[in-house]
Structure 1
Amino acid sequence: MNIWTVANQKGGVGKTTTTVTLGALLAARGEPVLLIDMDPHASLTSYFDRTPEELQATLFDLMSAQKLTPGLIDSATLDLGNNLYMWPAAMELATLDRQLGTREGLGLLLKQLLEKLDGLYAHVLIDCPPVLGVLMVNALAACQRVLVPVQTEFLAIKGLERMLRTLSMMEKSLKGARQVTIVPTMFDKRTRASLEALQELREEFGDKVWQGMVPVDTKFRDASRSHVPLPLLMPQARGVFAYEKLLETLLPTEVNA
């Protein structure tokens, strides 16, 4: 089971878009994909037109349960269709550390949850909040690869430096280093700022940076408004093509992992 965490300590860089688009492309290959919304703001959950307060159970219920049962997992798992499934977020996730502060292994709750799935999904994608805390720690501890979307502008690059420092610190306590792929997003080849930021990314972070880029594409906004992943709504969109190219670089070494 491939588990990828999509994370950055800066908001608005394309984390949810990356999670949704890659998830839909993987699911289109005929394998079940689980999307996990770790952000209390529930952007991923809202993308699919779900309201946390109206759901029977959420990721918070799974992570806070004293005893995890198959029934609870089923209740919290939303079938989105087209081989896509989701564990939705809830605002209560923001209080997880306060409510479970005395529980041992607080940073490994998600990892332990996923171990109980017993190969039910081929791929798991985790959408993180833009804040270092117990939720991001859980997401990073559970995964094999970290995808770091970075908007091609200079302030976003500064946020990337913080994210990589966080990963470096966490690797000292986690077993095994996580593979890191930096994904340039919102690239506009018409602007000098985007061109220069992309060049700086590649010069400063080297082979950690994917050699492609995700362009500015208003079709992503249209897909979000329709609550449908762009690969399903407009499979020929240039943004979809970019993420297909990204998958080609990620899957060869991991598809049989």
Structure 2
Amino acid sequence: MKVWSVANQKGGVGKTTSVVALGGLFAEQKRRVLLMDLDPHGSLTSYFKHDPDTIENSAFNLFAYNGKVPTELPRQLIVPTGVEYLDLLPASTALATLERRMVGVEGMGLIISKTLNILWDDYDYVLIDNSPSLGVLMINALAACQKLIIPVQTEFLALKGLERMMHTLQMVIRSQSHELDYMIVPTMFDRRTQASTQTLRTLKKQYAEHIWRFAIPVDTKFRDASRMGIPPGNLDAATHGVRAYKRLLVDLLN
């Protein structure tokens, strides 16, 4: 099992779209994929037509056993997406209460790692969609993953969010005493606008060693796929946004 986490401490940068697009491409290759939603907003859960406000079985249940995860529990929480080879472990809005509930409880930063150990032989890839805030959920995701993908919208305000994310990443790396492979992925790129092209140029200059060499473009097909609850590649494999994610996947695997 390979575990990839998609995170940024700024919302609206394309995290959920990246998780679904990459997961869908893996599923096309007949790889068994689990999409895990650790964001209390539940965007990934909503994408596949589940309501994070009312769902009963979700990632929140994993944190209810004082640092332990019952062996039978993770598989009980997983739901189909309607796409072959692609499953979902949904989120509920109750995840937002974890910070105050977990005060003083040891081992809460390894819940997702323990969960994935139970599911290790069930999936080839796990893609985790994260909350945009640093807390027990993001710490869990970073502790569990072997690769971190950081989507960054190509607009000036996103640069500050990336600075915060890089600071968080360095703290986590120091605490774990090992390096974490990560890639910064420019998203929502519109070559017609000066703001987008200048921001991309700045990103490539400041983060030359870790930034993806291309960018994910603005693509209305992403919105259409979200409305239908399917990966973008299942809607239109030839659209320029899907082609960009295919190129990204190749580079992530190399």
TM-score (norm 2): 0.95
Tell me the residue number matched to 1:36. 36
- What's the CA shift string for 1:119-156, capped at 9, x where partnerless? 21110100001111111111111111110000111110
Relative distance call for 1:53 and 1:191 in structure 2 (3 A) is: closer
Relative distance call for 1:158 and 1:181 in structure 2 (3 A) is: same
Matches within 5 A, 1:107-256: 107-252=109-254
Aligned residue identity for 2:16: T
SS at structure 2 position matched to 1:65: coil
**CA distance in structure 2 between the aligned counterparts of 1:10 and 1:68, rounded to whole angstroms:** 30
Conserved in 2, the CA contact under 8 Å of 1:146 and 1:178?
A: yes
Tell me the residue number matched to 1:100. 102
Identity of aligned residues (%): 48
Quote how far apart the aligned CAs of 1:54 are: 4.5
Tell me the residue number matched to 1:72. 73
Aligned alpha-carbon RMSD (Å): 1.4
Alignment length (residue pairs): 252
Matches within 5 A, 1:14-33: 14-33=14-33
> Please, which moves more after superposition, 199-208 or 72-81?
72-81
**CA distance in structure 2 between the aligned counterparts of 1:56 and 1:43, rounded to whole angstroms:** 16
**CA distance in structure 1 between the aligned counterparts of 2:177 and 2:99, rounded to whole angstroms:** 22
- What's the CA shift string for 1:219-241, capped at 9, x where partnerless? 10111111111111111111100
Quote how far apart the aligned CAs of 1:104 are: 1.4
TM-score (norm 1): 0.94
Quote how far apart the aligned CAs of 1:74 are: 2.4
**CA distance in structure 2 between the aligned counterparts of 1:27 and 1:211, rounded to whole angstroms:** 25
Conserved in 1, the CA contact under 8 Å of 2:37 and 2:91?
A: yes
Aligned residue identity for 1:231: G
- What's the CA shift string for 1:159-183, capped at 9, x where partnerless? 1011001100111111421111000
**CA distance in structure 2 between the aligned counterparts of 1:193 and 1:105, rounded to whole angstroms:** 44
Relative distance call for 1:84 and 1:175 in structure 2 (3 A) is: farther
> Please, which moves more after superposition, 171-180 or 185-194?
171-180
Conserved in 1, the CA contact under 8 Å of 2:182 and 2:210?
A: yes
**CA distance in structure 2 between the aligned counterparts of 1:57 and 1:12, rounded to whole angstroms:** 26
Conserved in 1, the CA contact under 8 Å of 2:74 and 2:115?
A: no
Aligned residue identity for 2:38: M
SS at structure 2 position matched to 1:210: coil
